[in-house]
Amino acid sequence: MGRLPLSVDECAIDLLALSSNDLCGPPGGGALWVRPEVALAPIVLGGGQEGGFRSGTENLPAIVGMGVAADLARNERAAEAARLTPLRDRLLDGLLARVEHARVTGPRGPRRLPHHASVVVPGVKADAVLLELDMRGVAASSGSACNLTTGEPSHVLRAIGCSPEEHEGSLCFTLGRWTTSAEVDTLLDVLPGVVSRLRRLAPR
């Protein structure tokens, strides 16, 4: 949402959960779109807030902030996608050219989210790469938040044929409304050296 056009009817969506922070809104807010004919039962009973589906004090500032963020995303989506897509492609092309054996996960082209760049880098542990990047002012992630507590590799990476070694070196970079070309250059300057050093230190 906020990155590509999304039609609940064309995609046959019955339930659509949205997070405020994914729209550059304040954390702590969210929304659930429900197709009218879908019947839901409340999971938290009490005062009847949220239309009776989720009782508890509502986070009004986050709700308002999410509304503003959603309005901005709707109005700016096309222009922002046009700005981020070439930055994303330059990031991916630069990583593939500078980091040996790295490969992009997911499709290239119009089906890829304009702000999303994910790669696998065999021969390194993602946690070590992320730590070094963080010390150099670069924020990134690895794997899936859904697998964080289990420590299991992402089922998506397994499904697209990544090897166990590639799972360990899974890196994800997301670009946003404040990402600049200079920041992409910083990553391209820093990451190859980090990977090279960690590969040299890896046990044989």
Catalytic residues: 146
| Residue 195 near residue 121, CB atoms below 8 Å | yes
Q: 54 - beta bridge partners?
A: 44
Q: 19 - beta bridge partners?
A: 30
- Helix (H) / strand (E) containing 173: strand 170-174
End-to-end CA distance of the chain: 44
What string of DSSP letters covers 17-74? EEEGGGGT--TT-EEEEE-TT-----SB-SS-TGGGTB-S---HHHHHHHHHHHHHHH
Rounded to a whole number of angstroms, the CA Rg of the chain reads 20
- Helix (H) / strand (E) containing 194: helix 181-201
Give the residue from 80, 78, 190, 168 showing the smallest Cα distance to 121.
Answer: 168
Can you list the pairs that 34-43 forms with residues at least 24 positions away whose Cβ atoms lie under 8 Å?
35/8, 38/14
